[in-house]
């Protein structure tokens, strides 16, 4: 279970979001929504530990993530806007690298990679360099990590951008499948998500005017 307790996010001494609390249980897919610039990406990066959160606490399996960072990292798959595809390597080399990062056992790597490539529809492109693929195909290479994952918590930032309708459905189906198997997912998307079981609307966590006065104190101090 992933639990956010009164989480707040600051940018340049200005509160972006405050008081976010939610509990994501096994089997749930949370759709994180909010207008551009509200801080969706910043929040997700805060949750996965790529930046610090400025208020509140994050609990993973009833323990603060700082105290259990190893266990948290083992169960976490984070895919940001950039999916980590290495342009000069071929599709299959990229996939094998992802499989290794997800702790798949060496014996299973070959079959998992073939399965993942099949699932994202890149079987015929296995030996092409990623840089020679189209934008959508590159995204598919990165998103193949969803089929190469052994992690239970998926944090996906805009996974559906640049994908065609079929691929969008395919990704959503995969997320739904993951949640049915007891995983959980936090997904930002501007498109409706069929697989979502819960919604976290960030526009309800904008800072109140009272709090934003501290921002001026901070600026004076600065």
Partner 1 sequence: MLTRLFVHELKLAWFKRQDVLLPLGFYLMAILVFPLGLTADIHFLQKAASGIVMVSLLFAQLLSLERLFKLDFESGLLDRYRTSSYDSSIIVLVKLLASWLAFLLPLLLLAPIISILLNLSFNTVIAMILVMITGTPFLTMIGGLGAALTLRVKQSALLLIVIILPLYIGPLVFMASAMNAAASGLPYNAELALLGAMSILSTALCPLLIGWIFRMLD
Closest contact distance (angstroms) between CB of 49 and partner 1 is 7
Q: Which stretch binds partner 1 (CB under 8 A): 96-104, 180-188, 190-198, 203-211?
A: 96-104
Q: Which stretch binds partner 1 (CB under 8 A): 94-102, 169-177, 193-201, 210-218?
A: 94-102
Residue closer to partner 1 by CB (options 130, 180) is 130
Quick check: 85 binds partner 1 (CB under 8 A)? yes
Which residues fall within 8 angstroms of residue 46, CB to CB, at 6 or more apart? 7, 9, 52, 53, 58
Quick check: 127 binds partner 1 (CB under 8 A)? no
User: Restricting to residues 134-193, which ones interact with partner 1 according to CB under 8 A?
Assistant: 142
Quick check: 70 binds partner 1 (CB under 8 A)? yes
Instruction: Tell me the two tokens of residue 217.
Output: 């104190």
User: What is the H or E stretch that residue 175 is in?
Assistant: helix 165-180
Closest contact distance (angstroms) between CB of 158 and partner 1 is 12
Closest contact distance (angstroms) between CB of 88 and partner 1 is 4
Which of 158, 155, 115 has its CA nearest to residue 139? 158
Quick check: 89 binds partner 1 (CB under 8 A)? yes
d(CA 97, CA 13): 38
Quick check: 84 binds partner 1 (CB under 8 A)? yes
Strand partners, 3: 23, 59
C-alpha of 220 from chain center? 36
Instruction: Pick the binder of partner 1 from 86, 199, 204, 212 (CB under 8 A).
Output: 86
E strands in the chain: 2-11, 14-24, 29-33, 55-60, 63-64, 76-79, 153-157, 184-188, 198-201
Closest contact distance (angstroms) between CB of 119 and partner 1 is 19
| Cα-Cα-Cα-Cα dihedral sign, residues 176, 166, 201, 63 | positive
Instruction: Tell me the two tokens of residue 6.
Output: 């009164």
Instruction: Pick the binder of partner 1 from 24, 48, 113, 193 (CB under 8 A).
Output: 48
User: What's 26's DSSP letter?
Assistant: T
Instruction: Pick the binder of partner 1 from 93, 161, 176, 198 (CB under 8 A).
Output: 93
Binding region for partner 1 (CB under 8 A): 45, 48-51, 70, 73-74, 76-89, 93, 96-97, 100-103, 142
């Amino acid at each position: 279970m992933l639990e956010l307790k009164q989480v707040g996010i600051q940018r340049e001494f200005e509160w972006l979001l405050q008081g976010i609390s939610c509990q994501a249980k096994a089997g749930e897919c949370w759709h994180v929504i909010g207008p551009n610039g509200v801080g969706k990406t910043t929040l997700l990066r805060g949750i996965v530990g790529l930046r610090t959160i400025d208020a509140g606490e994050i609990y993973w399996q009833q323990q603060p993530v700082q105290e259990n960072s190893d266990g948290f990292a083992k169960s976490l798959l984070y895919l940001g806007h950039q999916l980590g595809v290495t342009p000069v390597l071929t599709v299959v080399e990229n996939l094998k690298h992802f499989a290794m990062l997800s702790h798949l056992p060496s014996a299973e790597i070959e079959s998992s990679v073939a399965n993942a490539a099949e699932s994202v529809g890149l079987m015929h492109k296995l030996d092409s360099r990623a840089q020679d693929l189209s934008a959508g195909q590159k995204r598919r290479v990165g998103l193949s990590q969803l089929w190469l994952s052994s992690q239970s918590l998926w944090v996906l930032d805009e996974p559906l951008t640049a994908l065609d309708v079929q691929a969008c459905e395919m990704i959503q189906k995969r997320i739904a499948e993951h949640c049915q198997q007891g995983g959980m997912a936090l997904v930002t998307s501007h498109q409706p998500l069929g697989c979502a079981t819960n919604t976290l609307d960030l526009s309800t966590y904008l800072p109140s005017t009272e709090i934003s006065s501290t921002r001026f104190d901070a600026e004076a101090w600065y």
